[in-house]
Amino acid sequence: MNRNEIVQQQNEPETFGFKPDENVQQVTIRQLEQSIRVEGKHGRVLQTRPVQSWNVMAHILGLLTQANVNHTMEHVYVQKRNSFPMINDADKQLGYSRENCPINKWMFDKIVASFLIPNIGNDLVGGRIGMSFDENGIQIAFGMNVHVCSNFAIMGGQIMSTFKRGSNEPLSWQSVEIQLKDWVNNLDQNMKIEMDLMNKMIDTKIDDPAIIDRVIGGLYKRAIDQAYGSKALAPFDTAGMSNFTQNVLKASGGYTKDHVFDQEIGIRNVWDLYNYGTQVIKPGMVDIAEIQNSCFLFADHLFNEFEIIRN
């Protein structure tokens, strides 16, 4: 191989693709930077997405670095049905497809990223910043990461969006930047609020199976109302409720053969119930753009159901 061939090979973009059975794929910031920009017609800047996904991630990383906050960028996911290879007939003749295509021919319209902050909280929990980027706009959340779980959950009410979310009005990207900087500069205080909520959930015991049945019933009602009624946002859609209920049933080790609740195993308190729910709110099981909203709405539902007061 001569020098020109080596240079040409080094300049060739890497390939990317989804296997037939894959709903999501992990990517890197570098891959996203090589992908096609998300823009409006004729290259216009989108009001709810005035910056690209990789710029948002770089901004979060920059703020954490400037504040000397120890952090790790954990995962970046793109979703298959919202990722599009922009290929023409000539590209198809070269064999390019959704399974194998240069990264610079892809446009990713739905992305979620997670940043871990390990040195706040305690041995059980730490901090997490989550970001989603989709057709609605940009959303960023700060909350609690649970070390003992591999879910993608962020608990808490600290969430902001460049688009209308339920009764919450949209924020400009400039306002999001300001609030995000304030979050980063007050991480310890914000985490104290999260840990206070966690402790209240742990202290709220569940000693009767009927309580869990009541929670599932209320969540199912909200899922049906979201699908066929008022369209109000719910923690889970109908498919998500099936997954959640199955997950709770798998915790049947918490019951003896006589259906007597065992306090030592299974779902013992509201914190346990929350974590059984968030185990099914993860990429590949739900729409990745709904992860942060679902975790927040689920926590909020439990706070209301069990009369846990936010500070």
DSSP per-residue codes, 126-165? EEEEEEEEETTEEEEEEEEEETT------EEEEEEESS-B
Q: Last residue of a domain, which of 193, 215, 241?
A: 193
Q: Last residue of a domain, which of 145, 176, 193?
A: 193
- Residue 217: inside a domain, yes or no? yes
pLDDT of residue 65: 96
Amino acid at site 296: F
Residues of the domain holding 207:
198-305
Please tell me whether residues 118 and 183 are part of one structural domain.
Answer: yes
Residue position matching structure tokens 């902001």: 160
Please tell me whether residues 183 and 202 are part of one structural domain.
Answer: no
pLDDT (tens digit per residue) in 32-84: 999 999 999 888 999 999 999 999 999 999 999 999 999 999 889 999 999 99
More confident residue, 254 or 199: 199
Please tell me whether residues 33 and 134 are part of one structural domain.
Answer: yes
Amino acid at site 245: T
Please tell me whether residues 25 and 87 are part of one structural domain.
Answer: yes
- Residue 88: inside a domain, yes or no? yes
Enumerate the H helices of the chain as residue ranges.
Answer: 3-11, 29-34, 53-66, 89-93, 173-185, 187-203, 209-228, 238-249, 270-278, 291-305
Please tell me whether residues 243 and 261 are part of one structural domain.
Answer: yes
- Residue 311: inside a domain, yes or no? no
* CA pair distance 247, 149, nearest whole angstrom: 14
The structural domain count of the chain equals 2
Report percent pLDDT > 90 for the chain: 55
Confidence band of 121 (pLDDT split at 50, 70, 90): low
Please tell me whether residues 243 and 293 are part of one structural domain.
Answer: yes
Please tell me whether residues 87 and 227 are part of one structural domain.
Answer: no
Please tell me whether residues 202 and 294 are part of one structural domain.
Answer: yes
Q: Last residue of a domain, which of 143, 177, 193?
A: 193
pLDDT of residue 103: 96
- Residue 55: inside a domain, yes or no? yes
pLDDT at residue 160 greater than cutoff 50: yes
Reading the block at residue 194, the tokens are 């999260």
pLDDT (tens digit per residue) in 203-228: 999 988 899 999 999 999 999 999 99
Please tell me whether residues 15 and 139 are part of one structural domain.
Answer: yes
Whole-model pTM? 0.83
Q: Which of 242, 243, 225 is nearest to 234 (CA)?
A: 225
Mean pLDDT value of segment 143-171 = 75
* CA pair distance 106, 98, nearest whole angstrom: 9
